[in-house]
């Protein structure tokens, strides 16, 4: 069951997490990823947590092997591990924010007195990527029926043709989606200068405060004590 976390708390945790990953060492990055995985579990996204947990575990294992190996090609993979561990916590916490309905997200951001242009950009960005994924799945379903999907090994020797039949339709759909989003926003009076009303009530609960307290305590611990010497 998915737990309802206040969007303002989710947004602030995402911002703080984004800042912390910039100044964290590898050991601290691993612990930040661990917190992000528990955050997914707390939000009720168990399937996503399992997938991301497998990716993080494989990355940590590869990085540990890289430290013990003297082979140059393995050292090259260290940069890939670095990127995954660096951006993993931010992507995971943004994934939880994507589950918030657009109306509730905009109402919560409006209560923080954020600029209207920023709120619109945030809402559209968080909704854009899931829609693109759905469109890509639809295109791939049609491509598999015609034997043109990049998931089929026989097409790996024809990358240009696969690109043409996969990414060109996706780019065309992206342009159409952008027009549809613009028309939808104008219909809902997004250009009105007055403050918008909302059916969503934004208020902090004790669970939100406990989550914030746990986050602060966890961050203080991992940046004060070196639990992992990597």
For 40-93, the pLDDT digits (tens) are 888 888 888 899 999 999 988 888 878 777 676 666 777 788 888 888 899 888
Instruction: Give residue 114's pLDDT.
Output: 78
Cα separation, 157 vs 163, in Å, equals 12
Average pLDDT, the chain: 80
pLDDT at 10 over 60: yes
CA dihedral 41, 46, 49, 51 (to 10 degrees): 170
Question: Nearest to residue 7, comparing CAs of 115, 123, 129, 133?
Answer: 123
Instruction: Give residue 230's pLDDT.
Output: 45
Q: What are the distances in angstroms from CA 216 to CA 8, 40, 178, 220, 227?
A: 16, 17, 38, 6, 17
Please state the pTM of the whole predicted model: 0.74
Structure tokens at 72: 């140059």
Span 156-184, average pLDDT: 76
Span 8-15, average pLDDT: 88
Least confident of 50-54, 150-154, 209-213: 150-154
> Tokens 């029926």 — which residue?
145
């Amino acid at each position: 069951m998915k737990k309802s976390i206040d969007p303002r708390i989710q947004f602030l945790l995402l911002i703080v997490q984004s800042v912390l990953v910039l100044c964290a060492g590898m050991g601290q990055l691993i612990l930040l990823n661990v917190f992000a995985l528990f955050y997914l579990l707390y939000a009720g996204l168990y399937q996503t947590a399992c997938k991301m947990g497998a990716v993080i575990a494989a990355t940590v294992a590869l990085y540990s092997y890289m430290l013990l190996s003297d082979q140059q090609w393995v050292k090259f993979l260290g940069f890939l591990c670095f990127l995954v561990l660096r951006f993993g916590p931010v992507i995971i916490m943004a994934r939880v924010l994507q589950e918030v309905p657009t109306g509730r997200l905009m109402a919560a951001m409006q209560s923080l007195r954020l600029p209207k242009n920023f709120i619109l950009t945030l809402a559209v960005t968080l909704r854009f990527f899931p829609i693109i994924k759905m469109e890509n799945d639809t295109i791939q379903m049609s491509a598999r029926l015609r034997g043109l999907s990049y998931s089929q090994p026989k097409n790996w020797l024809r990358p240009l043709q696969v690109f043409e039949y996969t990414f060109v339709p996706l780019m065309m759909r992206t342009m159409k989606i952008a027009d549809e989003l613009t028309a939808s926003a104008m219909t809902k009076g997004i250009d009105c200068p007055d403050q918008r009303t909302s059916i969503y009530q934004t208020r902090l609960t004790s669970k939100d405060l406990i989550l914030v307290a746990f986050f602060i305590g966890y961050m203080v611990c991992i940046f004060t004590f070196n639990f992992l010497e990597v």
